[in-house]
Structures are given as C-alpha cells and as structure tokens.
C-alpha cells in the first residue's frame, strides 16, 4: 500500500461525476428512435469512484470495460477521484446530494468513518439475500472488514508489508542470502553487517502503517476495546510496551548509523534500495513488481516476513489497501446493479487477472488456481512470501486491525512522533505518550459526533 499524497481539480472531477451520474436515459421523441431509447432506459448506469492511478487505473478501466461488455443491462463508468484522502473528501462534500458515486473505493483506515456516516448499504444485506458464499474469500482479508458481525464493504485491493533484501549484498557481507532476519534483533545485526564505510545498510520509511503492522506482529492492540471491535475505541494504545519497544529499536539503529532516515515517502526508500545504496528495506507487497523490475539485472532480490521482537511468539500482519462501498442514496436498482458488479469483481478469473496486473492479493482463494496467476507466481516467486505471511497471521483482534474514525489523522500524528524521536528531539516513551494523548482526544471528539 503506497502512501497517498486543487480546488480547480476537485471541482472539475466533481462536475465530471455529476454529469456521469443518472439512473436512466431520458426517452426522446418517438420520431428519434423509440426502440433505442427504450433499450437505453432499461440500462442501469453506475458511477464508480476510485483512487488507482498508473497501472492500477488501467486495470480498473479494463475491469469496467469487460463487465460492461458482458452485462449490457448495467454500464459502469470508472472515474479517478485522486488519492484516497482526496476521494474521501470529495465524498464528504457530496453528502446531502445525489451527486456522489454509486460505488466508491475507500482505503482501509476509512472503514469506521464510512460505517458511521450513514451513507452506505452494508454489503452483508446483499450477501444474506443472495446467500453469497463468503467461504470462497480469503478469511484473513474478510476479518478486517467484518465489524459488529457484518461485512460493510467488499475487499478489493489488498496488500501487506514485507521485508525486501539484496541477496548479493548479503553474500558480500558474509550473510546467508536464503535466511533473512526474522526478529528485531536479527534485523539490527543484519543492518550492522550490511553497513559499510559509514553508510547505513538498511532503511525504512517513517510510515504510520509500519507502526500499525509492528503492533499486530506483536499481537498487540493499537486502540482499546478489542482494537475498537468489541466497542468503539476510546483510547490509543500507541504508548504501550509494543510501541515503545519498536521505536526504541528503530532509534537505536539510527544512532548506530546502521539504518538511514530517508523521510516519510516510501518511494524514497524504494529508490535507495533498487539503486543498491541500502541492502534491506520494508515496503508493501503492492510494490513488489516495481521493486523486482527495479532490481532486474542488477542484483538478486530476496523477500521475507516482517520482523518482530524475539519474545513475541505470535502475531501477524494487518491487510492494507481498500474496499468497495455501495452508497445508500441511490435507487434499489442501482444498488443491486452495484452488487452484481461487486460479485463479478470477486470471481476467481477477475481476481487472478487483477492480481497479476497490479500486484495486490486476490481476495478469492480459487484465484490461486487460475493459470494466469500460477504463471505470474513463477515469474515473481517473491510474491509467495506475501501469501505465506498472510496465511500465517494469527486470528486475533490485533491482526484484524484497529478501528477508529480518526485513523487518517492518527497516522499523521504517529509519523510526527517517530520523526521527533529519530531526529533526537524526544525519547520514545515521552513522544508516544504525547501522540497517544492527541489521538485519544481526537477519538473522543469524533465519538461525540457519531449518532447513537
């Protein structure tokens, strides 16, 4: 999952959506072709807001085109609305009107807001009505989006973070290229071994998502009340032992000059890694193809599980990415059509092709049996690490992921706290205490706005 980065662009996009929306085509006069108008009137038009650019947008447009060709009674128009934050802000601006989408892709940390907004029809309603078999979907992905016993959105693009390392640099440093570090302690020693001539051997971006993953990998909840799943979260657990241990480890490597601080942008650490300026980094599985291609011909790429403290006996990763929500201010026909499109996206063939085109996990387990997926795994064997890590994750509230309505803001606060410590402007405990207090205050302010 990559990070998400003016008014004129927003207005233009919104006007495009407004012009694209509409439930039916108006019939013209009998003299202008009544049969064509009657056929158009029976076609349900769907507007799908998404946040995929580059190869992702190309793949999404292909999905919509293929669906439209096989479902003439439903026509989907996919419209890019900017990065996740931008798209969600545009959705908020559309509240109270019918100018918004029929279907929207929202990143995982927007889940609580979408549920509390009152703007959605939970997909569980369609699942129950159709007796749709959820057992065909990846259970560790479904767990994230299942809140209060129901699935509110259908998972779409899913990723998790893994360790990337340069096998050639491992060999040169006398390390086993087939045995990447599995613990904080091993990672620290490996980074030290890779460091040479005063240049750090590893780096990882200051990314709040990584901190969330480090908590889950210690089987530690990020917020109280069962990670916000047994009841609405009221307190951040950022300053607990899991957080302090992680940031202390991170800061120690910075001080020892075995880990470099390249800032918040994961693209910067990826660029340093593919340029062989560092021999080890963390990044999303969604970036695997880019990293494989970036390393191609220069060095042999290895992948491993996200490291955890040696004394953490269980845990796992939390899925990142986004899911699809059906908006409830549209007609029943449009909502049903949106569900038909969602079911199409969940089919093994479509999921296999989507995974191959983008690097995201297939949400449907049968997609692994598709030949196109098998061929891709042969071409990119490093992706097996991501699959194995997902399947090895414990079933717990920690690995199910935290739920809070201010997650985007919380992530920024966490990144600020990490920066403070790495820059030598505060100790891990005090920085995380201050950040946890800020997040807790924001959580409770948000909770006060939610209708009971």
pLDDT digits (tens, 9 = 90+) for 230-261: 999 999 999 999 999 999 999 999 999 999 99
Measured CA to CA in angstroms, residue 284 lies from 158, 159, 213 at distances of 10, 6, 11
User: What confidence tens digit (pLDDT) does each residue in 54-110 have?
Assistant: 989 999 999 999 999 999 999 999 999 999 999 999 999 988 788 899 999 999 999
Yes or no: say if 279 and 201 are a contact pair by the CB < 8 Å rule.
Answer: yes
Yes or no: say if 159 and 286 are a contact pair by the CB < 8 Å rule.
Answer: yes
Yes or no: say if 350 and 253 are a contact pair by the CB < 8 Å rule.
Answer: no
CA atoms within 13 A of residue 341's CA, in its CB half-sphere: 33
Measured CA to CA in angstroms, residue 387 lies from 48, 127, 217, 393 at distances of 28, 26, 16, 10
**pLDDT number for residue 30:** 42
User: What confidence tens digit (pLDDT) does each residue in 118-139 have?
Assistant: 999 999 999 999 999 999 999 9
Distance CA 117, CA 305 (A): 36
| Cβ-based neighbour number of residue 214 at 10 Å | 28
Yes or no: say if 12 and 94 are a contact pair by the CB < 8 Å rule.
Answer: no
Helix (H) or strand (E) holding 158: strand 154-159
Yes or no: say if 1 and 284 are a contact pair by the CB < 8 Å rule.
Answer: yes
Structure tokens at 307: 């490291």
Comparing 262 with 99, the larger pLDDT belongs to 262
This prediction has a pTM of: 0.88
Distance CA 74, CA 24 (A): 11
Task: Look at 6-15, 101-110, 296-305 and tell me which has the smallest mean pLDDT.
Answer: 6-15
**pLDDT number for residue 29:** 41
- pLDDT band at 452; cut points 50, 70, 90: low
Distance CA 433, CA 175 (A): 38
Distance CA 165, CA 171 (A): 11
Residues β-bridged to residue 304: 163
3-state helix, strand, coil split of the chain in percent (to 5) is 50, 15, 35
Distance CA 329, CA 213 (A): 35
Comparing 36 with 408, the larger pLDDT belongs to 408
End-to-end CA distance of the chain: 33
- pLDDT band at 447; cut points 50, 70, 90: very high
**pLDDT number for residue 180:** 98
Domain with CATH 3.40.190.10 in the chain: 7-159+320-387, 161-316+406-447
**pLDDT number for residue 40:** 53
pLDDT at 205 over 80: yes
**pLDDT number for residue 146:** 94
- Domain 161-316+406-447 superfamily per CATH: Periplasmic binding protein-like II (3.40.190.10)
Mean pLDDT, rounded, for 206-218: 97
Average pLDDT of the residues of the chain: 90
Distance CA 230, CA 403 (A): 10
How are beta strands 154-159 and 146-147 bridged, if at all?
Answer: unpaired
**pLDDT number for residue 33:** 54
Distance CA 3, CA 284 (A): 10
- pLDDT band at 451; cut points 50, 70, 90: confident
Structure tokens at 100: 């918004």
User: What confidence tens digit (pLDDT) does each residue in 421-434 have?
Assistant: 999 999 999 999 99
pLDDT at 348 over 60: yes
**pLDDT number for residue 6:** 37
**pLDDT number for residue 4:** 41
Of 298, 255, 250, the closest CA to residue 428 belongs to 250
Portion of the chain with pLDDT greater than 70, in percent = 91
pLDDT at 20 over 60: no
- Span 7-159+320-387 CATH architecture: 3-Layer(aba) Sandwich (3.40)
pLDDT at 339 over 80: yes
**pLDDT number for residue 19:** 36
């Amino acid at each position: 999952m990559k990070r998400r980065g003016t008014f004129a662009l927003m207005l233009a996009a919104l006007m495009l959506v407004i012009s694209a929306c509409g439930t039916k085509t108006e019939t013209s006069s009998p003299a202008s072709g009544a049969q064509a108008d009657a056929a158009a009137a029976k076609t349900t038009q769907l507007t799908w807001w998404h946040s995929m650019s580059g190869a992702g947008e190309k793949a999404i447009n292909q999905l919509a085109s293929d669906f439209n060709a096989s479902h003439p009674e439903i026509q989907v128009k996919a419209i890019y609305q900017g990065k996740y934050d931008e798209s969600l802000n545009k959705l908020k601006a559309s509240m109270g009107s019918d100018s918004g989408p029929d279907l929207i892709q929202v990143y995982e940390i927007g889940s609580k807001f979408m549920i509390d907004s009152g703007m959605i029809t939970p997909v569980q309603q369609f699942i129950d009505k159709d007796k749709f078999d959820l057992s065909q979907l990846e259970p560790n992905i479904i767990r994230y989006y299942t809140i209060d016993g129901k699935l509110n959105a259908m998972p779409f693009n899913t990723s998790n973070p893994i360790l990337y390392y340069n096998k050639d640099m491992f060999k040169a440093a006398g390390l086993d290229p087939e045995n990447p570090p599995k613990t904080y302690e091993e990672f620290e020693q490996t980074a030290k071994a890779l460091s040479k001539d005063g240049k750090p051997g590893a780096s990882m971006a200051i990314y709040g998502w990584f901190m969330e993953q480090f908590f889950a990998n210690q089987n530690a909840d990020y917020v109280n009340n069962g990670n916000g799943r047994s009841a609405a979260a009221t307190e951040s657990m950022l300053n607990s032992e899991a957080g302090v241990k992680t940031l202390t480890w991170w800061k120690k490597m910075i001080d020892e000059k075995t880990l470099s601080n390249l800032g918040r942008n994961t693209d910067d650490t990826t660029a340093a890694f593919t340029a062989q300026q560092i021999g080890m980094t963390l990044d999303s599985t969604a970036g695997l193809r880019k990293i494989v291609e970036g390393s191609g011909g220069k060095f042999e790429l290895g992948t491993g599980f996200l490291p955890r403290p040696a004394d953490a006996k269980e845990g796992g990763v939390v899925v990142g990415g986004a899911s699809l929500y059906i908006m409830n201010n549209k007609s029943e026909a449009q909502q049903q059509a949106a569900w038909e499109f969602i079911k199409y996206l969940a089919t093994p063939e479509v999921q296999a092709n989507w995974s191959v085109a983008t690097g995201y996990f297939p949400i449907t387990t049968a997609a692994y049996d598709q030949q196109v997926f098998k061929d891709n795994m042969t071409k990119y064997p490093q992706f097996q690490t991501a699959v194995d890590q997902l399947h090895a994750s414990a079933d717990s509230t920690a690995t199910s992921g935290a739920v809070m309505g201010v997650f985007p803001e919380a992530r920024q606060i966490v990144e600020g706290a990490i920066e403070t410590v790495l820059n030598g402007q505060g100790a891990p405990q005090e920085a995380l205490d201050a950040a946890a207090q800020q997040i807790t205050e924001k959580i409770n302010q948000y909770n006060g706005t939610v209708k009971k």
